[in-house]
Amino acid sequence: MLSPEYYESCADDILSLYEQLENDIISDVIRRIMKTGMVTETAKHQLEQLQEAGLLYDEILSEIAGKTDATENHVKALFEYAGVKTVAVDNKVYRENGLTPVDIRQSSAMRQTLEAGYRKTLGNMKNLTLTTADTSQTAYINACNSAYMQVVSGAFSYREAIRQAVQRTAQQGATVLYPSGHTERIDVAVRRAVLTGVGQTCREIGLMNAEECGCDLMEISAHSGARPSHASWQGKIVSLSGRRGYLSLKDIGYGTGDGFGGWNCRHDWFPFFEGYSKPNYSAKDLKKLDEKNIEYNGKMYSQYEISQIQRRYEREIRAAKREQVAFRTAVEEADDPELRQVMQDSLNYSNSLVKDRQAKMRDFIKQTGQDRDYFKEQNYPKENSRNSLTFTQIRGIINIDESPISELKDIFKFKKRLSSDKQMEKSYRKAIEKRFSNGSEIAKKVFNKFIPPDSVVDSNYNGIAHYNRTDKKIYMNYSNDLLSSKGAGVTWFHEHGHMIDDLAGKISTNKDFHISLTMDYLKYLGYYKCSNNFTNNLDAQKAISQDLRESFRVQSSVSDIMEGLSNGKIKGCSGHMQNDSNYWKNSNRIYSEAFAHMFEAQFDEVRYKEIQKYFPNALKKFEKLLESIGNDK
């Protein structure tokens, strides 16, 4: 049996991969729109559009392929962990009632059921995801045609037509196409596939275990916010054989899409022995779940109604963030200065919209207390220090690849650490968790090894974010980092990079790291000077400065490192000298900042690639340093 809380969050790490995929797809479509939008002659427009549509299709398939390995590892680890956990929790109940339940190592049927569930879910996800190439290609063609018709008809200016095309693309997002012709957002489809697949597989294993032990009665879990059709049977006893006086499998809709264990269902069941087991839910407890006892904006709502309001606010925030991604890409891709300004104005509006909607969500949480769960203490069998399984024990139960489990272990440990930070709001925590889940394995390991739970002492700091070597604490502003154009969480990981550097013995002072940084800088400067026919370093440094002002999101780290290595002669989009002209006079700061930048880039593929472009050898040396402290016992 798995708890409703587990089902609620079990797909989060997988969804973070698909959220990044959706952002990449939106950016791909916008880049093509910005390019095609300049063509206004009918024949040329159609030719350009067809060429770009073909390239877009291939590009998206490549994006999907790039996420395949990581997705398979996450799904495999999730199924293995959930399956073993289900048996462990149920078996505790059987042993307490004098039975000897089957061990999953001895049940080939259970292992085969687990494997089949994993394969089916992964197959469903792959089939759905591949359709995004078709739907995105169609979205691109429709957006271009619509913009083209608006311009040639005189209804809208060229710039306004392109702005609307960008906005529509963001609003639609990445969608999947079902065989029925129904389309749905990719995150919704993936969550349903994972939650349903894990749930159905683990409930089937629980049913097999019950039949093996001769247990006929099962108690269904209950949770707040259940859909009305499920609220009628949650918390009650069901008879597998259909005995009178109890619910039957037909009563709860077992085996149907909208019944127990169907689409998005978070209910589970666990063994119940008549005369020995005590029901975990009284009629009063169950009635309380449906009461309109939560006040919001002067009106009373039930937990289910409040959960739907919260889901709506979350969707609105995600929609505004998709517009941020779209207009940021449009700004970067626009060649026409006036068009770029239109896109920048729209980006500024999107930024303010995200801020406003997040403020609305904070007010909602404050009024309703939705971070609290009054039914979290229910007494159904739960994991605890005595009966929970470690990852090592799971590897001993079924023969599985260690790498995905090791990765999942790091993520679970990290989430536990974040949960102790009471200063961190849910939206920011999600952003940090997402960044961590996409990080390199060694960076995750090093973070969990060195960073204490109370690393940030002030999360509303009004000054410049920094790590204090004296008190070993970080001072920063969570709200500013959440909305930062560098990317939500970049500053958080950067400052923790400084902390790791310090706590690991100031390893950024490594001489080989210094030499690699300096040599990479001089090689790039020399190459740039020769390839652009500059006669002196100063002209080349000025030109590099211009190059490093194209994208703050992508280049701020490289810009800062370059400023330090050039002693301020290269001034790109970001640099410490903007706040302190004497900052780089202490040469150790160059290597300390480079270390922190490279650490935060371990959790950001875009920024990683940019650092790799300018400092390939230094990055390799940095990663060897991480390996050395991560594997050092």
Supply the pLDDT for residue 549: 92
Same domain, 465 and 412: yes
Same domain, 196 and 321: no
Count how many domains the chain has.
3
> Measured between alpha carbons, how far is 126 from 155 in angstroms, rounded to an integer?
41
Q: Is residue 619 part of a domain?
A: yes
Supply the pLDDT for residue 69: 63
- Tell me which of 200, 215, 230 is where a domain ends: 215
Contact 367, 295 (CB under 8 A): yes
Pick from 165-174, 335-344, 388-397, 412-421: least confident: 388-397
Supply the pLDDT for residue 497: 97
Q: What pTM value is reported for the model?
A: 0.53
Same domain, 28 and 161: yes
Quote the crossing angle between the two packed helices 158-172 and 12-36, to the nearest 10°. 160
Pick from 70-74, 210-214, 320-324, 470-474: least confident: 70-74
What band does 17 get if pLDDT is binned at 50, 70 and 90? low
pLDDT digit string (tens) for 178-188? 777 777 777 77
Same domain, 348 and 449: no
Residue closest to 382 by CA, chosen among 496, 268, 290, 296:
268
% the chain with pLDDT above 70 = 81
Q: Position 330: which residue type?
A: A
Supply the pLDDT for residue 137: 67
> Measured between alpha carbons, how far is 76 from 408 in angstroms, rounded to an integer?
10
Supply the pLDDT for residue 72: 73
What band does 556 get if pLDDT is binned at 50, 70 and 90? very high
Pick from 48-57, 465-474, 566-575: least confident: 48-57
Same domain, 49 and 100: yes
Tokens linked to 86 = 């289900």
Residues 88-111, mean pLDDT to the nearest whole number = 76
| 214-242 CB burial, b ≥16 within 10 A, e <16 | ebbbbbbbbbbbbeeebbebbbbbbbbee
Same domain, 604 and 477: yes
Q: Is residue 385 part of a domain?
A: no
Q: Is residue 70 part of a domain?
A: yes
44 pLDDT exceeds 70? no
Eight-state DSSP code of residue 576 = G
What band does 9 get if pLDDT is binned at 50, 70 and 90? low
414 pLDDT exceeds 70? yes
Q: Is residue 527 part of a domain?
A: yes
- Which domain, by its residues, includes 310? 291-368
Same domain, 37 and 181: yes
Q: Position 616: which residue type?
A: P
Residues 407-418, mean pLDDT to the nearest whole number = 68
Same domain, 202 and 136: yes
Q: What are the angstrom distances between the C-alpha of 610 and each of 324, 428, 556, 606, 616? A: 21, 25, 10, 7, 10
Pick from 189-198, 259-268, 562-571: least confident: 189-198
Supply the pLDDT for residue 383: 40
What band does 388 get if pLDDT is binned at 50, 70 and 90? very low
116 Cβ contact partners less than 8 Å away, ≥ 6 residues apart: 201
372 pLDDT exceeds 70? no
> Measured between alpha carbons, how far is 268 from 590 in angstroms, rounded to an integer?
54
What band does 392 get if pLDDT is binned at 50, 70 and 90? very low
Supply the pLDDT for residue 285: 81
What band does 297 get if pLDDT is binned at 50, 70 and 90? very high
Q: Position 142: which residue type?
A: N
Q: Is residue 596 part of a domain?
A: yes
Can you tell me which residue has the tokens 């290597």?
591
- Tell me which of 163, 194, 215 is where a domain ends: 215
Same domain, 204 and 318: no
Same domain, 426 and 340: no
Tokens linked to 591 = 């290597």
Q: Give the CA dihedral 435, 441, 442, 445, nearest 10 degrees.
A: 80
- Tell me which of 175, 193, 215 is where a domain ends: 215
Pairing relationship of beta strands 183-185 and 175-177 according to DSSP bridges: antiparallel
Q: Is residue 258 part of a domain?
A: no
Sign for the pseudo-dihedral over CA of 35, 39, 44, 47: positive
> Between these two residues, 607 and 3, which has the higher pLDDT value?
607
Tokens linked to 182 = 């129904």
The dihedrals phi and psi of 180, each to the nearest 5 degrees, come to -70, -15
> Between these two residues, 535 and 103, which has the higher pLDDT value?
535
Same domain, 332 and 412: no
pLDDT digit string (tens) for 515-539? 999 999 998 998 888 888 888 899 9
374 pLDDT exceeds 50? no
% the chain with pLDDT above 90 = 26
Tell me what the pLDDT averaged over the chain comes to: 80
358 pLDDT exceeds 50? yes
Same domain, 312 and 169: no
Residues 330-346, mean pLDDT to the nearest whole number = 86
Q: Is residue 227 part of a domain?
A: no
Supply the pLDDT for residue 77: 73
> Measured between alpha carbons, how far is 165 from 70 in angstroms, rounded to an integer?
32
Supply the pLDDT for residue 118: 75
> Between these two residues, 459 and 189, which has the higher pLDDT value?
459
SS (H, E, C) 102-170: CCHHHCHHHHHHHHHHHHHHHHHHHHHHHHHHHHHHHHHHHHHHHHHHHHHCCCCCHHHHHHHHHHHHH
51 pLDDT exceeds 70? no
Give 429: exposed, middle or buried? Use CB within 10 Å, 0-12, 13-18, 19+.
middle
Q: Is residue 395 part of a domain?
A: no
Tokens linked to 499 = 């902390």
Which residues on adjacent β-strands are paired with residue 88? none
What band does 399 get if pLDDT is binned at 50, 70 and 90? very low
391 pLDDT exceeds 50? no
Residues 424-438, mean pLDDT to the nearest whole number = 87
Residues 430-442, mean pLDDT to the nearest whole number = 88
The number of beta carbons lying within 10 Å of the beta carbon of residue 257 is 11
pLDDT digit string (tens) for 275-290? 888 888 888 888 877 7
